[in-house]
Amino acid sequence: MERFVLFPGRHHLLTRFQAGYLRELAAPTDEGGRTVVWAVTSANHQNTKRNPVGYDRRQAAIERFSVQEGLRSLVVPVFDTAHTDRFAEVTLKSVESVLGRTLTPHDTVVACSTPEVAAMYAGLGFAIAGVEAELDPVPDRPWDVLLRLAAGDPVWRDLAHPATLDVFDRYRLGEQVAQVVNDPVVGEEGGLTTTRDYRTYAEAFEASAERKWDLVRRHVRPGRIVDVGCGAGAVLALADREPALRESDLIGVEVARHLFEECVHRKAQGWFTNPNVYFYCRNVLGGAVFAPRSVDTTLTFALTHEIWSYGQRMDSLRRFAQAIYDHTVPGGVWINSDVSGPDNRDLRVRLALQGAAGGPLADLDGLTREEIAAHVEGLPTRARLDRFAADFHFPLPFDARPDGTVDIALGDAMEFLTHKDYPDNWLSEAHEQFCGLEFADWKALLTDVGFEVDAASHSWRNDWIVEHRLAPVAALSDQDGTPLPWPDTHVLLVARRPLNT
């Protein structure tokens, strides 16, 4: 009877301790040796804090490890699943689907150092080998060693197995792991926030792609065209249809793993006719993505306000602008379309809103996204202002007036009014400041970095938003009660790197 060691885990890094332990556990006996079945979990994830190393590199290290240690191994990818008490059963079924055989308690021992996971297998009748958990004190587990790497502790090289060192050194994975693990912006699953519904965002990107492309297409310079924050790739798909760009490279950069995976899927499904379409899952704030003077056109849509909001405001935005300037060829262009603060955003105004102020604010802790959306949707506009001011991650001061209006800065008024209609992603949107910069601030920043601001750059007002979302429930006036027009809500910036730089 063939016997096995089932070794489930993410296996981003292999250790010298694991080598000695598995050699002993799988060693030949009177009944023969054991084949090690490496069930590599989260095999469809990479470039996230929880899973910084791709499955292909993990498999390469495992195969090299097995050869060096004289182990007979089989490597099985296990795709990530939502948290479940049936994780052990899901993993066993994945192994069965790949290997064509069922592992049972009669022929398999499970090697697992995580007590909660080990208990699941024990509940199915499997014998458990505790690996690191068998010792007291417990030695560094692989994840502990990987965190040493990310922290710059050279001891990690003494603890890691030579197979891991070889793969990490050849593919420069150490730099990638340190960058991803230490990223102050991106969460464990490779997104900006855990409260975001990426399905909703992908649908919104699709709906607005043609409008965005029509806005910028005449400013695009052929060559290497990069869409930073490309979403699900909808704008690049439109660029792909442009005859004038058929010889260009079309490159998408997306930090959110969910959206990046959709880009890769669409490319595989034949969305693009241009063979030179590439996608990268990267956080552009983590360091340079492209070589200096290598990109002809950079596109950013609805991205820069996120860099401002999730980073360190102007410091992060300046670093981002500098990075784009550095990778732009002389004569190249950065085209940025985003929400924007109104001119004179500190002006004190009176804001009249539909409905009355609410009572005590409800506690949103523990509510699902759907429950939060239902709660917000049930609030009149005036009460929704109180809710937003409490949830917003930036100061939003205002004074209630006896006549029911509020005294507020123009920029803060527009901050609320442009956020209020996103109940489906309420807490996610509350992380983002739309009105941090006005048009004059943008021009000053771009000029300071070294760009020339093209005359085509301008701020503009989205009249659809005014007609459908603002005017029906709100009105602006000055301190004397004189009605004010709705200000600009967006900005288009066309910034060129001078030819002589």
Q: pLDDT tens, 347-357?
A: 999 999 999 99
> In which band, very low, low, confident or very high, does the pLDDT at 287 lie, cut at 50, 70 and 90?
low
Quote the pLDDT of residue 106: 96
Question: Which pLDDT belongs to residue 66?
Answer: 97
pLDDT score at 36? 98
- pLDDT for 198 equals 47
- The Cα 158–Cα 406 span in angstroms is 63
| Helices 257-268 & 198-216 angle (0-180, nearest 10) | 70
Residues 6+ apart with CB under 8 A from 246: 274
The per-residue DSSP string of 390-438 comes to HH-SS----EE-TTS-EEEEHHHHHHHHHHTT-GGGHHHHTT--S-S--
Rounded to the nearest integer, the mean pLDDT of the chain is 92
388: helix, strand or coil = helix
The encoded tokens of residue 284 equal 């552009």
Task: Give the chain's largest Cα–Cα span.
Answer: 95
pLDDT in tens, 386-397: 999 999 999 999
Residue 188 has pLDDT above 70, yes or no: no
pLDDT, position 205: 60
Ramachandran bin of 21, using left for φ above 0, alpha for ψ from -120 to 50, beta for the remaining angles? alpha
Three-state secondary structure call for residue 39: strand
Instruction: Answer yes or no: are the C-beta atoms of 332 and 496 closer than 8 Å.
Output: yes
Structural tokens at position 370: 């759907």
Give the other-Cβ count within 10 Å of 329's Cβ.
Answer: 17
Q: pTM of the prediction?
A: 0.72
Cα distance between residue 196 and residue 200, in whole Å: 9
pLDDT per residue as tens digits for the range 97-155: 999 999 999 999 999 999 999 999 999 999 999 999 999 999 999 999 999 999 999 99
pLDDT, position 286 = 61
Using only C-alpha atoms, what is the Rg of the chain? 27
Q: Which residue has the higher pLDDT, 11 or 193?
A: 11
Q: Which residues contact 3 (CB under 8 A, 6 or more apart)?
A: 31, 32, 33, 34, 35, 107, 108
CB atoms within 10 A of CB 152: 10
Percent of the chain clearing pLDDT 70 (strictly above): 94
- DSSP, collapsed to helix, strand or coil, labels residue 494 as strand
Residue 272 · residue 245 · CB < 8 Å: no
What was the pLDDT predicted at 196?
45
Q: Tens digits of per-residue pLDDT, 404-451?
A: 999 999 999 999 999 999 999 999 999 999 999 999 999 999 999 999
What pLDDT shows up at residue 199? Answer: 55
Look at residue 258 in the predicted model and tell me its pLDDT.
82
233-273: pLDDT as tens digits: 999 999 999 999 999 999 999 988 888 889 999 999 999 99
Residue 158: Cβ-neighbour burial (10 angstroms; 0-12, 13-18, 19+): exposed
445 residue type, one letter? L
What's the one-letter identity of residue 60? A
Query: Does 288 have pLDDT greater than 70?
Result: no
Is the backbone peptide bond immediately before 154 cis, with ω within 30 degrees of 0? no
Name the β-bridge partners of 3. Answer: 34
Q: Where are the beta strands (DSSP E) in 215-285?
A: 224-228, 249-253, 277-280
Q: What is residue 187's predicted lDDT score, i.e. its pLDDT?
A: 47
- Closest to 492 measured CA to CA, from 464, 465, 453, 463: 453
Kindly state the tokens that stand for 350. 């009176």
Backbone CA torsion sign across 373, 263, 319, 449: negative
Determine the Cα–Cα distance for residues 421 and 377; give it in Å rounded to an integer: 9
Q: H or E segment at 458?
A: strand 458-460
Distance of CA 167 to the CA centre of its chain: 26
Indicate whether 381 pLDDT > 70: yes
Residue 193 has pLDDT above 70, yes or no: no
Asked if residue 139 has a cis previous peptide bond (ω within 30° of 0), the answer is: no
